[in-house]
Structure 1
Amino acid sequence: MRDHAVSAPKTNAVRLLERLGVPFELRPYEVDPDDLTAESVARKVGLPAEQVFKTLVARGTTSGVCLAVVPGNCELDPKALARSAGDKKIDTVPLREVEALTGYVRGGVTALACKKPYPVYLDETAELFEVISISAGVRGLQVVLAPGDYIRAVGARVAPIAREKS
């Protein structure tokens, strides 16, 4: 895997992967501010939605802030995340808090080079694929990499934290 998007911006996430020597590919896409869904991004980068993972910011009653990384065709299961984190209750944080906590805007949140080293929980389905896609830290740019490399880069714990959209 190589970086094929030479003209793409170098984000902190990209710099981190380069520093770690992780092989990856960048896939830029056209941003529609009215449709930042993972399904839309998946179509634009040429991958199925279940291979494009979105990073959600959550907060537990005792465990504090964490990042939940789930497939684009699913939603977070807060009870499953709470079990994985050893907490009684976890829910996503209000959108207005996301940038202050992570340094990233909605549609560009990634666990790579996040503002603080929060615990990261990756849905177990990521390991079913040769590569997964995650945000490169800005809207309009995705990183495609092996799930094992992503897990090592962010110190993710793999757990069943997603469910089908209701």
Structure 2
Amino acid sequence: MVQPEPEQGEPEPEARARLALEASGVAFTITRHGPVGSLEEAAAARGLAPDQVLKTIVVRRGDGDFLLVLVPGARQIAWPRLRHLLGVSRLSLPDKAVAREVTGYERGTITPFGALHAWPVIADARVVGAGRVSVGAGGHGVAATLDADDLLAAVRAQVADVTDPAE
């Protein structure tokens, strides 16, 4: 299979994300918008509802062992449920330098597509059947919009109830 070339002038993380999206075979669109200050602004800039914007959170399970959690809109990880699902007593969020080191993406741009390592992905159950959703695409103000079920299949996500409403 011939790999597509990065677009002229596209930053490396964005090119890596786009190329991985293309290689996945899922239909997607890339949206570029300026800086946003809230979930609501990000959703509006992408033409979506806030619950259709998915955050990709890097979680440390152990030394050198990470996973990605897809969290919808104004929700947050339910740590006790995630620990129970994974059968561990402790999980943590890595600092921004470690998150970048293990994914190749800065916080706010992280996507399960094109990460430097194919970490396992867990998606909150609310993502199933959600229709169009948006995930980071490797750059600030850059997002990929695609069908939620296509996303879950492409990244082989384990689906579970792992979030609560944000406080």
> Scaled by the length of structure 1, what TM-score is found?
0.85
Partner of 1:144: 145
Amino acid at match of 1:48: A
Q: How many positions carry a matched residue from both structures?
A: 158
Native 8 Å contact 2:132 2:146 kept in 1: yes
Q: Using the TM superposition, give the Cα deviation of residue 27 of structure 1 relative to its aligned residue in structure 2, in angstroms.
A: 1.4
Q: Using the TM superposition, give the Cα deviation of residue 61 of structure 1 relative to its aligned residue in structure 2, in angstroms.
A: 4.3
Native 8 Å contact 1:62 1:87 kept in 2: no
| Aligned-residue identity in percent | 27
Native 8 Å contact 1:78 1:91 kept in 2: no
SS at match of 1:113: coil
Q: Using the TM superposition, give the Cα deviation of residue 38 of structure 1 relative to its aligned residue in structure 2, in angstroms.
A: 3.5
**Stretches (4+) displaced over 6 A:** none
> Which one is further off, 131-140 or 7-16?
7-16
> Which one is further off, 105-114 or 38-47?
38-47
1:30 aligns with 2:38: no
Native 8 Å contact 1:127 1:147 kept in 2: yes
Which of the numbers 10, 18, 21 marks the counterpart of 1:17?
21
Q: Using the TM superposition, give the Cα deviation of residue 79 of structure 1 relative to its aligned residue in structure 2, in angstroms.
A: 1.6
* Structure 2 unmatched runs, 5+: 1-6
**Mapping of 1:90-105 within 5 angstroms?**
90-105=91-106
SS at match of 1:67: strand
CA RMSD of aligned residues (A): 2.3
* Structure 1 unmatched runs, 5+: 1-5
